[in-house]
Structures are given as structure tokens and as C-alpha cells.
Amino acid sequence: MMKTQKVWFITGASRGFGLEVTKAALAAGDRVIATVRRQPEHLTATLNNPPDLYVVQMDVTQEDQVQAAVKQGIADFGRIDVLLNNAGFGMVTAIEEATDAEVRKQYDTNVFGLLNVTRAVLPYLRQQRSGRIINISSLFGYDVVPGWGLYGSTKFAVEGLSQGLAVELAPLGIHVTAVAPGLFTTDFLSTESYVATKTIIDDYQTTVGRMRNGADALHGNQPGDPKKLAQVILQVANAEHPPLHLPVGKDAVAMYQNNAAKVAQEIEDWLPVSASTDHDDRIAA
């Protein structure tokens, strides 16, 4: 059976996972609507202007730009089969250190931006009664390490939104997967992809300070190969029964397993307290 050519809509396609998936999808014979925040001509040139690539400038936080980009992509390629919500950035900070403006900027991109794009694409997927939404989460969407709690909270939101979308869209033939990568050798830990907050509180130096000092040292030494992750995402896009939650990388799998075990043990330890709150006349005999 011949593989059906898919049309992808990929956010944050200029580098990192977005760029690798764009390359992999094109190599597989698919078509890609790739969105970038600036210099769309740079991505077109980098990929040698293939006919199956349509690059559009778009900021996920600007809903009018998002709606326009989706309409342009549909006008050019006729449909969208796979939405890859990849755009996002990290923030290394103690939660107390982050200002309201810094927190809102983090959520505007990682959560509200994802929602902007999803809302813009879903009418077309619903009309088709088919499609895939793949949301890039993180191993920090399973558990938290000091310094990445705020960023992780946006990925906890992505996990929850994916789960909600999945149950709402399943009857319409649309599959949803939250892909939670571990640490990969992308630009994520470069100073262009994550930010540190302006405020630093000395009391957090022994915990968050290690992360602030260690991110640059870790950059380039992460265990994961982004080209392999791109192939995993293509596999998910083509699977008949894709998973809802998919940790990718041994570190992401371990993060999920360790947190699940901790939560299960806590619930077990406190079960008598947790189960003690029913009205006395409604307790089963």
C-alpha cells in the first residue's frame, strides 16, 4: 500500500526539534508548512527551497498572525494532516524569583501560544474528520527539578491540555499525542533558547544556582540525538493507534517512572486520611 502524503504544520521550525522534524518529513515525501518568528527566507535557503516546503513568518503569541498563517498554509497546500506544536522556550529560575511579566511571557509562548495554534487548525481537522496533533512536552512535564519548576509547570499544562483534547477529539477521528523529550543536543540549552530571570535570591543558590551554572556546561553534551527524535515523531504521525503520552529518551522514561512511583507511594501512605472524609451516613457498610 502506498504511503499517503501528509501535510504538516510545524511551529518553531527554524532550529532544534522543529527543524529536524521539518527535514525528516520532507525526506519522507511529506509537505511542510513551517512557521518561524523571523527571517523565513533563511529557513527556505537552509533547506534549498524544496517545492514541498512553505515557510511563513508567525509568532504563536499573536493570534491574528496565527490565524493568517494557517489560512495561508491551507490556501497553498490544501489541507493540514499533522499539527506539531513545537514552539517554546525554557526559563531557569526559582519560582519566587520570576516576575509576573517573566511568568506571563513563559506561559504566553508555551501554553497560550500552543492553544492559539490548536484553535486555528482544529476547524480544518474537524471538517476532514481526521488529523494528528502532536504537542511537544518535556521530561519536566512529569516531575520537577530545582530551577525548572516554572518551565515544567507549562509542560504539565501541555500534558493536561493534550489529555483533554484527546478525549474531546477522539470521536471526530483526530488523535492527540504529548511527546515528552528528555535532554537532546538541540539549541534548547543555548542562551538563545532559554532565559534566566533578572532577579537572583541568594537563598536559592544551593539548589537553583546549580542549574543556572550547569546549563551552559551541559549544552552540547545531552544524551539524545534530535534526528532520532524526529524519526520517532514521524512514527507517531503514521501510527494507526498513536499513544497519548510518549516520553522519549531514557532520562524522560526514568523521570516518569520515578515520579509515578513516588506519587503512588504517597497516596498509599496517606490513604486512611484521604479516604476519611465521606459523610458518616454515606460510608458503605
Q: Give the active site residues.
A: 137, 151, 155
The whole-angstrom separation of Cα 141 and Cα 215 is: 18
Is the distance from CB of 154 to CB of 160 less than 8 angstroms?
Answer: no
CA distance 100 to 235: 39
Grid cell, residue 177, equals 499525542
Output phi, psi for 48, to 5 deg.
Answer: 60, 35
**Cα–Cα dist 102/95, whole Å:** 10
Cα–Cα distance, 181 to 147 (Å, whole number):
18
Identify whether the C-beta of residue 243 lies closer than 8 Å to the C-beta of residue 177: yes
How many CB atoms lie under 10 A from the CB of residue 29? Answer: 11
Give the separation between CA 3 and CA 41, rounded to whole angstroms.
Answer: 30
